[in-house]
Chain A
Amino acid sequence: MDRIPILRMGEFLLVTIQVDMHDRLALTLQDDLTSRISETSARGVLIDISSLETVDSFIGRMLGNIASMSRVMDAETVVVGMQPEVAITLVELGLSLPGVRTALNVERGMDLLRNSRRHGMEGRR
Chain B
Amino acid sequence: MSLIAEVIRKHEAELTSDWIKEMASSTRRSDLLKETELKSQTTQFVRALGAATESGSTEDIAGTNFSAVREILTETSRSRAAMGFTPSETATFVFSFKRPFVSRLQKEAKDPQSLWSETWKFNELLDKLGLYTMEVFQKSREELISRQQQDMLELSTPVVRLWEGVLALPLIGTLDSARTQVVMESLLKKIVETNSQVAIIDITGVPTVDTLVAQHLIKTVTAARLMGADCIISGIRPQIAQTIVHLGVNLSDITTKSSMADAFLVALQRGGYSFVKKTELA
Interface residues of A (CB under 8 A from B): 79-84, 86-88, 90-92, 96-97, 102-105, 108-109
In the docked arrangement, what's the CA distance between A91 and B226, Å?
9
Beyond A84-B185, A91-B219, whether A96 also contacts B197 by CB under 8 A is: no
Q: What residues on A are CB-neighbors of B191 within 8 Å?
A: 84, 104
A85–B227 Cα gap in the complex (Å)? 10
User: Assuming A91-B219, A91-B222, A91-B223, is B229 touching A84 (CB within 8 A)?
Assistant: no
A96-B226, A102-B226 known; A87+B188 contact, CB < 8 A: yes
State whether B227 touches A84 (Cβ < 8 A): yes
**Interface residues of chain A: helix, strand, loop or mixed (majority):** mixed
Q: Which residues of B contact A (CB under 8 A)?
A: 184-185, 188-189, 191-192, 195-197, 219, 222-229
Q: Considering the chains assembled together, what is the distance between the CA atoms of A82 and B229 in angstroms?
A: 11
Given A84-B188, A104-B192, 12 more A-B residue pairs with CB atoms under 8 Å apart are: A79-B228, A82-B228, A83-B227, A84-B189, A84-B227, A87-B188, A87-B227, A90-B226, A97-B226, A102-B228, A104-B191, A104-B195
A87-B195 in contact given A82-B228, A104-B228, A104-B229 (Cβ < 8 Å): no
B195 close to A82 (CB less than 8 A): no
**Once the chains bind, are A108 and B228 in contact (CB under 8 Å)?**
yes
- CA gap between A77 and B36 in the complex, in Å: 77
Query: Residue of A at shortest CB range from B222?
Result: A96
Residue in A86, A91, A102 with the greatest tally of chain B CB atoms within 10 Å: A91
Residues of A within 8 A of B192 (CB): 83-84, 104
B residues less than 8 Å from A90 (CB atoms): 223, 226
Closest residue of A by beta carbon distance from B195: A104
Which A residues are CB-close (under 8 A) to B189? 84
CB distance from B102 to the nearest CB of A (A): 63
Q: How far is the CB of B51 from chain A (nearest CB, A)?
A: 55
Collect the chain A residues with CB atoms within 8 Å of residue B224's CB: 87
How many Å lie between the Cα of A99 and that of B112 in the bound state? 90
